[in-house]
Structure 1
Amino acid sequence: MVAQDRFRWHKDARLFAGQSEVPRAIEGESDRFCALPAFPAFDALKALTTAITQQAPFCLSDHCLPDDIACPPGAFLTLTGGASGQPKAVRRSQASWIASFNVNADRFALSSGDSVAVLGHLSHSLSLYAVLEALHLGLDAHVLADQSPRRQSVCVAEAGATILYATPTQLRLLARGAAAPLPSLRLVLCGGGALDAATRAVVKRLCPEAAVHVFYGAAETSFITLADAHTPEGSVGRPYPGVDLRLLDRAGRPTSDVGEIWVRSPYLFDGYALGSSTDTRWQDGFVTVGEIGDLDADGHLWIKGRRQRMVQIADQMVFPEAVEAVIAAHTRLPCAVLPRGDALRGHHLVAVVETAAKELSAEEIIANCRAALGLLAAPRRVFFNSDLPLLPSGKIDLNALSNWLEGQI
């Protein structure tokens, strides 16, 4: 019998890798940790569901894990995105995700008539979460990670999927590859990055019947806030049900101004099984991963950026994320902003915009940033790249992009 604090494969749920249905595994009980490959999708799902039905701890990864990595019964490991460093293995209880399954079931009226489409590989926590939630609640799940964006759109339509879990990058690629809208979708759940206005408009055309909700969180915290159509542009929304937020200043005191975001909830991780972060700290049941933000009078959270990406330029502290938001709003294109050493000011910023278009003006982008953010925070140079490097999570690979920039400057 499956324990209440363990993942399950509900009797009504079916699981597909593309068009191939994954057979049910034999139930059992095992405490042995299972290191599982994240692709190809069919093999990954078969291994995952075997671990679930055996009630074994597990981790899905794109790469080989160390032989000495371990995980206790009732827990599992997920990997961080690794956008600015090596991915870490996050250890959390299965109960920490099950708690939010029940919240989502109530908030989004999930039922056995729903079917979920998942676009990413299972090494990405958003994709893994979507599959486990569907199986646990009794929904069909269609994992389309091995398909091209065009084929993914066809599979969504043929399956009549009603719920889509995806990152902003995956949504842009899906919309670019789709030959027609996807009217069966009633709900798009987006995580893994900010959903800019241009991508939101694309999603509205692609999924005309779908409500769009954007989750903000981290592998260590799971859900922190939830944004919907009524959320002010630029905010990541109000706290997710069950989440308690507080902001602390540099002295560690509560503040109503800009501060470090600390979270307490039933959804938090237990610790790292691989790697570490000086930005991740615990205090009185709250945890922070080094994100900086502020809350408005209506309880909406506004993210300034990540402490580890904060750059000092002369006497000013600048968040590259704020510069990226200004450029994305102006160009309506994905972009990244990175620091470079500067003998006079310590650092300066450069931007890379994803486009092959020749009509975009680097000078205009810089001038717009100067008007919005000031001289020091504006990038000194703007480069164009038709294909920004991505991590398996769908986020921009900042390390790879930094190496690419070395050949351009």
Structure 2
Amino acid sequence: MSAPQPKPSTSRRHRWFEYAYLVYLANLLWQPAFDPQGFGWVNVALTLASAAVCLVFFLRRPRDNRSRLTATAALAAMGLIVAPFNYGANVYIIYASAIAGTVWPSRLALRVIWSLLGTSALYLAILLGLGMPWQMGLIYCFLTTVFVLGVGLGNVSETERDHHRSQLEAALEENQRLAAIAERERIARDLHDLLGHTLSVITLKAELAAKLAERDPARAAREMREVERISRQATAQVREAVQGYKTRGLQGELAGAKLALETAGIRLDYYAQPLTLSPTQEIVLSMALREAVTNVIRHSGATRCAVRLLNDGDSLCLEVEDDGKGGLLEEGSGLQGMRQRAEALGGSLEYSGDGGTKLSLRLPYPEPGRVSSQALPTTFHPKPDTL
């Protein structure tokens, strides 16, 4: 049975397969099917009314602890009230345990689930009081206890995972925000260092040329040519700085990926062959690595991630592979942008979801003479890991 999401502020639509859990309501059909003579109109009316109440709780999905605890108590009480009229009412106690498993913190959820075991014992007492053979009553009670523990504890585990995932995403967003602030401060410092002195020199030379315009036109012309040279030099320096701001480089992305994966509890296995990259290729590979690692952290549920930079003879290859849940990837804007940037350089993007997710981005080698001044270091030579 699925659990409502643990984030009270987040509202999510029902996923289609979650409605399959309503099949447990079929447990209410056992008594009328096997004892139609003893199942009167009062029994039918109470069964239908209680099923409708259960549907309301299922469809509305309580979003905070108070409403979850209220729903748990209401369903458990309804199971005991309807039990004398339909032995299958123990299903409401199971639905109650499913909601109890979504209460946060998990210590409170566990206390509620243990209390539902006492409700199962009351359910057994009601059945025995109605004359049910004790062997049959014990079977009903045993099945109720197994489902209460299984469903409840399963949802506690799922809620804890979602809570920790939310904390991780919040931490990543905060890190990105702090990194953006630090980057803005760095840009401000760089622009000050690049342009502060240069603009001061341009101002002084322009003032000097204005004063010399009538007395010494030739020297004034030399000063203005010097202003032109300095301004062109400043323009080139700013262009270089802006180019550097577009990416922090492949080495910086690898360091950031290692930190983010370790924060998420995912082991990074890294292998790089000596490669020579053009600046454009380094930018494309850096952005692809950032997007791939983000997807691993947010969607894979992996414990290991391998990043490989390989020399395939006629091409460069970036591989990012994890041991997560795999499956088909929905190609959103991130993957589409990755594919478009690779294809713009004559490369390609491939991915598979068998036994985890593997993403491979290939780029042709750069033309001679158009390589980065900072090629990848050649000190990383571990054997490639196979997940």
Query: Which TM bucket (shorter chain)?
Result: under 0.3
In the superposition, the TM-score normalised over structure 1's length comes to 0.23
The structure richer in strand per residue is 1
Of structures 1 and 2, the one with the larger relative CO (CA 8 A, separation 6+) is 1
Which of the pair has more CA radius of gyration?
A: 2
The structure richer in helix per residue is 2
